[in-house]
Amino acid sequence: MKIENNFQTSSLSKLKEMKIIISSNGETIDSPIDTRFGRCKYFVMVEIENSEIKNVSTIENQGAIQGHGAGIKAAEQIGNLKPDLLITGSLGPNAFDIIKELEIPAFQGFGTVKESVEKFISGELNKITNNVESHSGEVKTNEVKKDRIYFPLLDDNGMESQISEHFGHAPFFGLYDFETKELSIIKNDLDHTNPNKSPIDQIIETVNPTIIFAQGIGGRAVGLIKDKGLGLKTSLDYKIVQEIIDNMDKLSDQTKDCGHKH
């Protein structure tokens, strides 16, 4: 088995028996990961043996209920759980320092908990080697700056999946990573009734894209995407995922409401 991205060769033997903790939005192995570390809802603990998932358990993140110092509290909790590995989206300065001091390797995951674990096992996750700027969301390390484009889909058919004209009500969403050249497709589980998190916030927390593609999207979402510093692209010429990936340089910037009633 080939494990890359700075994971120490001496740790390869641990894959025979390893405990991995993943920041998650839900309580199951099929839940989407939460790219926030300190404020994630749950930590899902996955035990693997001989590179196969054997046991799964869930712990509520104590940092999520903190007024301040969420990252510190979450990192301390991780230390008490004594995992061999952490998978999350990014780490703030305080959490990064604690995790580093505890000598717990941290990797950047995406998709579901299960997908992230499987990608680690196959050596496809990048190691988190630096923290994000406090309160800014700007990432320092080049490892997490690679473009990831997110788009609404009508079906789950890989690179042949059809693009949905209505962003928020698409049955599926896809995330294509230009570095790994991989496409992940997930069901649309956006909660449009959540008063605390907009659908755009939920998307960022789940998969942390850098670009969003939409053929039809509301004006409020356009504003939120801009405020979050994400790119927003559009085109009516392309109908499937492969066409969008092949024609990225031909996409236009979307700057206003599509005019549809959402």
Place of tokens 């509301």: 218
CA distance 131 to 95: 8
Q: How many other C-beta atoms can be found within 10 angstroms of the C-beta atom of residue 145?
A: 12
CA distance 132 to 150: 22
Just give the CATH number of 146-253. Answer: 3.30.420.130
149-169 residue pLDDT tens: 999 999 999 999 999 998 888
At 258, list the tokens.
Answer: 């599509």
171-219 residue pLDDT tens: 999 999 887 788 999 999 888 888 888 888 888 877 878 899 998 888 8
At 220, list the tokens.
Answer: 């409020």
Place of tokens 């309160």: 135
9-138 and 146-253 agree in CATH topology:
yes
At 31, list the tokens.
Answer: 């839940």
CA distance 119 to 182: 11
- DSSP-derived secondary structure for 53-95: EEEEEEEE-GGGG-SS-HHHHHHHHHHHH--SEEEES---HHH
Report pLDDT for 2: 31
Rounded to 5°, the CA angle 131-211-189 comes to: 90
User: Where do the structural domains in the chain lie, given as residue ranges?
Assistant: 9-138, 146-253
What is the widest separation between alpha-carbon atoms in the chain? 57
Class of domain 9-138: alpha beta
φ and ψ of 237, to 5 deg: -85, -20
- The single-letter code of the amino acid at 29 is I
* Average pLDDT value for the chain: 82
pLDDT averaged per 10 residues in sequence order, the chain, 262 residues: 38 67 92 85 93 92 80 93 92 89 91 90 85 43 58 94 91 88 89 84 82 86 80 91 92 66 42
